Amino acid sequence: MRPLLTLCAMLSISLFIPLKAIAAGHYKVDSKVSTVSFATIKKQYVVEPAVISGLSGNLDDKGMLSVMVPLKNLDTGVSIRNDRLNELFFNAATFSDVKISAQVPAELMKGDRVITQATIPATVTLYGKTQTLDFMLNIVRVGEIISVSSVKPVIVDAGSFGIPKANLQAVSKTVGDIAISATVAVNVSLVLIK
Over residues 115-157, the pLDDT tens digits come to 999 999 999 999 999 999 999 999 999 989 999 999 999 999 9
DSSP 102: E
CB–CB of 41/181 below 8 Å?
yes
**Predicted model pTM:** 0.84
Over residues 14-32, the pLDDT tens digits come to 444 333 333 446 999 999 9
Fold designation for 27-109+120-134+153-193: Lipocalin (2.40.128)
Domains of the chain, residue spans: 27-109+120-134+153-193
Over residues 113-124, the pLDDT tens digits come to 999 999 999 999
Question: CA-to-CA distance for 93 and 79, rounded, in angstroms?
Answer: 17
H or E element, residue 38: strand 35-42
Across residues 94-99, what is the average pLDDT? Answer: 98
